[in-house]
Structure formats: structure tokens, C-alpha cells
Amino acid sequence: MVKSPLRYPGAKKKVLNRFTQFWEVPHVEYRDVFVGGGSTFFGKPECPRNWLNDYDEEIAAFFISMRDYPEELCNLVMSTKPTVELWRQIKDRDLNTDLEKGFRTLFLNRTTFSGILKGNPIGGIEQKSKYTIDCRWNPVALCEQIRLCSEMLQGVTITALDFSSVIQEAGENVLLYLDPPYYHKGNLLYRQGMTHEDHVRLSDLLKDTEHKFFITYDDCEEVRELYQEWAYLYPASWFYSSSNKKAREVGKELFISNFMISEQIACNFGIGGEN
């Protein structure tokens, strides 16, 4: 399986087997509305038409760079040795092109604590930790991933739009996948978060859409209230590593869709249906 070069908070790459029943709904166009690190797109089955979107324009620029300028991006990766001084320079630099913005996204993602783009560098400013700023920077491996991802991105539409534009765009046999910022912690993890009003607006748009959709969300009362009266809810849980603890913790999330999946198969993947 092709892996995204990005380390992303909330990435689903370790639990993609839970997505199988949702991906199998018939469709000819796949739209990833909040693409983030892209692990879900790179792990899904092939589809004739694909549209990746992220409201963070520098995330979108990274995917455009992989699609259109993979060798130029790899040249930048291979010629860069991360330091705190360089980290500061790149973070504050004014950039114009997709390649420049895309490289900054990759550099900050691989050199920042837990991949949080607005966070601090790995090892801290004083680099006193045993984990230093370059511990996640493996140029050869990153370039291998970039080239493989570039092949998969050929012909893919990539945008940096508000989610409403992607949801409301007409189309036939469309499957929408949405992994919005977590309701409670999203604004701490991402540069582009969502307000309560944004979450409500998202729910209203999906309630009216003619497209099939499924969402992964944090399982909380606020999210349940937005969807439980009209959509199918499938609670799920899996282990994830806490950024501040050695022990693994159980993450509780919701799969939400406007179509039903097999209850028996859902249970086999640790998903329980509600409607």
C-alpha cells in the first residue's frame, strides 16, 4: 500500500480495514473533502474520478506538488538538513508557488512534534531531547513515497475550497468521504479548524445532499445530536498512542453515513450500527 509522506493528527492509516464496507458502495467519483494527510485516499480502492480538497491551501499545495513536481520536490528534500534555525526560517518565510508551499508543509510536518503544523519542533527549541528535529527526516524514504504518491495523483483534482463547494458540486454516482477536524480538539491540532456553526453547517449540507457520503468523527454528544435523527451511526474504537504517554489509549470515533452497511460485517470490523 502506498503511504503518505505526511504524519497527520487523526490519520486513519492503521485502521483502513474499517473503511471497506463504505468504500464498496457503488460510485464512479470519489471526493475526499478534508484530505489532511491523505492516508485514506492512498489506501482506498481505485476509482475513475477523484477529487481531493483541504481548506488549508498549503496542504493542497503539497498534494499539487507531489502530482505535478515530484522531482523538484525530491530535490528540495534531498538538499535539506533540518535545524532549528532553518525551521524558523521556513516557517516564517513568504512563499508564492505551490512547490514552495508544498515543501514547507512537508518540512514542518516531518520536523514538528506529532506532525502538528502549528506546533513546536521535535526536541524543542533547545534540542535537549534524545529525539532531535531531524529524527523523522529520512530524505531517501520520503522521496520514494513522493514518487509513488505522484503516480496515484495523476488526473486527480486538487483544491483548497470550503467544504460546501465540494459537497454541493453536482455529479453522478458520487461518494463523499469526510474526516473533519475533531469537534473538541480540532482547533488545537490543525491550522484550519471549525467552529460549532461550521459543524452545524456541514451537517445541514449533508442532510440535503444527493450524494452518498460517510464521515469519521470523534464520538461526542454534540456530533451525535447533529446526525442521530436522520443518518446511520456506527460507533468504533481503536488504540492510538498518546503524545504525552507511553501507554496506548482507546480512541472512540463515529462512522456516519446516509446509507446502511451490513451489520454483521460491521461488527467484524469493530463497528456497531445505530440509527
**Domain region containing 117:** 58-154
Maximum Cα–Cα distance for the chain, whole Å?
Answer: 55
In this structure, what C-alpha cell is assigned to residue 254? 463515529
Residues 160, 54 contacting (CB under 8 angstroms): yes
| Statement to judge: residues 47 and 170 lie in one domain | yes
| Statement to judge: residues 51 and 65 lie in one domain | no
Which of 154, 175, 197 is where one domain is finished? 154
Backbone dihedral angles phi then psi of residue 203, each to the nearest 5 degrees: -60, -45
In three-state form (DSSP H/G/I as H, E/B as E, the rest C), the secondary structure along 187-251 is HHHCCCCCCHHHHHHHHHHHHHCCCEEEEEEECCHHHHHHHCCCCEEEEEEEEEECCCCCCEEEE
Which of 154, 181, 197 is where one domain is finished? 154
**86 closest CA partner among 62, 64, 69, 103:** 103
| Statement to judge: residues 150 and 169 lie in one domain | no
257 contact partners, CB below 8 Å, separation of at least 6: 22, 212, 213, 214, 215, 231, 232, 234
Kindly give the confidence (pLDDT) of every residue in the chain, 275 residues in length, as a single tens digit, with 9 standing for 90 and above: 799 999 876 667 778 889 999 999 999 999 999 999 999 999 999 999 999 999 999 999 999 999 999 999 999 999 999 999 999 999 999 999 999 999 999 999 999 987 787 789 999 999 999 999 999 999 999 999 999 999 999 999 999 999 999 999 999 999 999 999 988 776 566 677 799 999 999 999 999 999 999 999 999 999 999 999 999 999 997 655 444 444 445 568 999 999 998 764 455 445 556 65
Distance between CA atoms of residues 227 and 74, nearest Å: 43
| Statement to judge: residues 38 and 77 lie in one domain | no
- CATH number of the domain encompassing residue 142: 1.10.1020
Which of 154, 179, 209 is where one domain is finished? 154
Count the domains in the chain. 2
The helix-helix angle for 139-153 and 57-68 (nearest 10°) equals 90
pTM, 2 dp: 0.90
| Statement to judge: residues 270 and 181 lie in one domain | yes
